[in-house]
Amino acid sequence: MPKKVKGSSWCVFSNPINLGTEELPDWEFSEMLCDDPSIYELIENETTEAEFYLEKTFSYGDFFVMFFLTIFVLVLIVKVIWNSFVKK
């Protein structure tokens, strides 16, 4: 069954595998086929043979998180520099 994922791409997830145990199952899909493969990139670790898909798009949520983290880090840096050079 195709599923619409974030953006305008349709993907089909297949081959479910159990990564957990019989007592505590953790079912995940092992294959993903999308109509626009340029949105996702398959990342493979050659030493552990682990692989995952990385989304190549940047959403508004990602922008806001990065914006607030940047502001927080800049304020922290300015505060540390200010406190180290200005005597109270």
24 and 62 share a domain? no
pLDDT of residue 37: 66
Give the angle subtended at the CA of 81 by the CAs of 75 and 84, to the nearest 5°: 135
50 and 77 share a domain? no
50 and 78 share a domain? no
DSSP character string of 38-59: GGEEEEE-TTT--EEEEE----
Would you write out the chain's pLDDT as a tens digit for each of its 88 residues?
555 555 556 778 888 888 888 899 888 888 877 777 677 787 888 888 888 878 777 788 889 999 999 999 999 999 999 988 886 6
pLDDT of residue 56: 78
Domain boundaries, position 64: 58-88
50 and 62 share a domain? no
DSSP annotation of 37: G
pLDDT of residue 8: 56
